[in-house]
Amino acid sequence: MTGALTKTFSRDLTASIVVFLVAMPLCMGIAIASGVPPEKGLITGIIGGIVVGALAGSPLQVSGPAAGLAVLVFEIVRDQGLSALGPILVLAGLIQVAAGVFRLGGWFRAISPAVVHGMLAGIGLLIVLGQFHVLFDAKPLPGGIDNLIAMPARILGLAPGGDGGALAAFAIGILTIAAMLGWERLRPDRLRLVPGALIGVVVATAVAYGLGLDVIRVSVPESIVGAIALPDASMLQRLAEPSLIGTAIAIAFIASAETLLSAAAVDRMHNGVRTNYNKELRAQGVGNLLCGVAGALPMTGVIVRSSANVQAGGATRMSTILHGVWILGFVALLPWLLREIPMAALAGVLVVTGAKLVSLDHVKHLFDRYGPLPALIWAGTFLMVVTTDLLTGVLVGLALSLLELAPHVRRLRLRTDQRQEGETREIVLDGAATFVALPKLTALLDDIPAVGRLRLNVERLRHIDHTCAEMLDEWIRRRRDAGLAVELEGARGRLERLVTAA
């Protein structure tokens, strides 16, 4: 028993160091993209690691500041001021805790993958457009279209907002991007766990320091405690402001959706403990509540850090907790080192991160497998996020998702039945499998014991939308990857193409 615990701790220790190295530049970079000081992102990373890691319903998921909320936070700070962020996060955290207590986790999983990936693609493009200007040591403009229009003038040196070191800063940013991409393509197998973002920032910082370049560098306080902005009496007054309540609902909704979809992706990466979605929601709520009290950034479960945790061999929640401890220790003991990092280097990291969020492969997958409507949902969400704002884009995507229900609005009911035949358990689906029925269907499938043979009878299933089809596909793959026999019976026509690819 002691040997097993020692082996587990050894794996968690190694994984935590890898996740720490991935998280550090992203925590600071996302804070800067959000329009707040970098230490705000570090505080969120510490809370996400130590507190949420201890409470999480997904033991291997890593929480912290997410690129998915950077655009929304930037708009909040721009329009309502940094002081509004604290009460908004307190309200958002309370909403998430309540959602977990009332067991609403399954409903967040029912959000169309087309909406989520369209939202992330839009956010990715906005981050690239905004951080392009930071590459020149200039501030991004208020909107994505404004940033796009200003790009030619910035390249030609005609745009306002930069300084004499713009060319040097741009060179540092390009060096960061080149180092990241080069490392990810050429790194040796024995160093595969060393993140490209770390290499890019280290190379850029060393060059800027060695050449004494006059570029803007990261500004962090001497003490991380000094960066914590505790609430005062005015926060209680602002909690009742209608504009803040609406924004808090938006953050709670988007953060919860991104977190639970990330948790589902993490579950597909390992065969250990499955996610308790309601427990994860409660943990995220506590985390965002504390971030609001500390005046930090909002958090979500983050797939980049979580996948690094799994790939590095993380075995328990201890790897997540330890990564938060390492961030705290580094910030407390070596703040002077952080102050040598060029802002353009962090902008380079975010340009690469944002570009990776714009996944055209996903919309191609939606079109090839499910037809034009899911691809239209993706495109509508993407365009509205880029041209208006994040919340409008998500609401438009959800509205477009309702089009899938229109032909079946009078027959949305899904009936399920279970029967045991010797060692084979049969699950019968009858009716329409749409995102409306997804919470019920996922609860049923997740409760099935991981033993014996399973027959999934879809002979009487009249319709399945892409949200349920993706979930079934992932569930069947996971069962088969675990060595369990899953038989699909009665699939015909379009339904056969949708749910037998696994």
Q: What ranges in 102-222 are assigned the alpha helix state H?
A: 105-108, 113-134, 144-155, 166-186, 196-211
For position 7, what pLDDT does the model report?
A: 67
CA distance 96 to 240: 18
Numbered ranges of CATH 3.30.750.24 in the chain: 410-499
Q: What is the mean pLDDT of residues 219-239?
A: 79
For position 1, what pLDDT does the model report?
A: 46
What kind of architecture, by CATH, is found in domain 410-499? 2-Layer Sandwich (3.30)
Q: Are 352 and 45 spatial neighbours (Cβ–Cβ below 8 Å)?
A: no
Q: What is the mean pLDDT of residues 153-159?
A: 79
- Average pLDDT of the residues of the chain: 87
- H/E segment holding residue 486: strand 486-489
Is 60 exceeded by the pLDDT of residue 477? Answer: yes
- pTM of the complete model beyond 0.95: no
The pair of structure tokens assigned to 307 is: 């996948």
For position 485, what pLDDT does the model report?
A: 84
For position 495, what pLDDT does the model report?
A: 63
Q: What is the mean pLDDT of residues 125-129?
A: 92
Residue type, 162: G
Strand partners of residue 300: 64
Is 90 exceeded by the pLDDT of residue 299? Answer: yes
Strand partners of residue 433: 464
Greatest Cα pair distance, the chain, in angstroms, is 78
CA distance 181 to 493: 43
**Bigger pLDDT: 424 or 94?**
94
What's the gap between Cα 311 and its chain centre?
17
**413-to-242, 400, 434, 470 alpha-carbon distances in Å:** 37, 21, 9, 19
Highest-confidence range of 185-189, 294-298, 309-313, by mean pLDDT?
Answer: 294-298
Q: What ranges in 358-492 are assigned the alpha helix state H?
A: 360-370, 372-387, 390-401, 438-446, 466-481
Query: What 8-state DSSP symbol labels residue 275?
Result: P
pLDDT band at 502 (very low <50, low <70, confident <90, very high): very low
Is 70 exceeded by the pLDDT of residue 158? Answer: no
**C-beta neighbour count of 82 within 10 angstroms:** 16
Lowest mean pLDDT segment, chosen from 36-45, 101-110, 222-231, 386-395: 222-231
Q: Please give the torsion angle defined by the CA atoms of residues 92, 93, 99 and 105, in that order, rounded to the nearest 10 degrees.
A: 100
What percentage of the chain carries pLDDT values higher than 90?
42
For position 27, what pLDDT does the model report?
A: 92
The pair of structure tokens assigned to 130 is: 């905004």
CA distance 37 to 27: 11
Q: Are 111 and 465 spatial neighbours (Cβ–Cβ below 8 Å)?
A: no
Query: What 8-state DSSP symbol labels residue 276?
Result: -
pLDDT band at 227 (very low <50, low <70, confident <90, very high): confident
Is 60 exceeded by the pLDDT of residue 163? Answer: no
Q: Are 375 and 363 spatial neighbours (Cβ–Cβ below 8 Å)?
A: yes
* CA atoms lying within 13 Å on the CB side of residue 19: 40
**87-to-90, 263, 353, 497 alpha-carbon distances in Å:** 5, 27, 29, 48
Q: What is the mean pLDDT of residues 325-340?
A: 92
For position 376, what pLDDT does the model report?
A: 95
Is 90 exceeded by the pLDDT of residue 189? Answer: no
Q: What is the mean pLDDT of residues 236-253?
A: 86
Is 80 exceeded by the pLDDT of residue 132? Answer: yes
CA distance 194 to 171: 24
What percentage of the chain carries pLDDT values higher than 70?
95
> Between β-strands 414-421 and 300-302, what pairing exists: parallel, antiparallel or unpaired?
unpaired
Q: Are 455 and 426 spatial neighbours (Cβ–Cβ below 8 Å)?
A: yes
The pair of structure tokens assigned to 258 is: 């991104």
Task: Phi first, then psi: give them for residue 434, nearest 5 degrees.
Answer: -120, 175
Lowest mean pLDDT segment, chosen from 159-168, 313-322, 396-405: 159-168
The end-to-end CA distance of the chain, in Å, is: 37
> Between β-strands 414-421 and 424-433, what pairing exists: parallel, antiparallel or unpaired?
antiparallel
Count, residues in the chain = 502
Query: What 8-state DSSP symbol labels residue 103?
Result: T
Highest-confidence range of 189-193, 228-232, 277-281, by mean pLDDT?
Answer: 277-281
Q: What is the mean pLDDT of residues 243-271?
A: 86
CA distance 160 to 195: 34
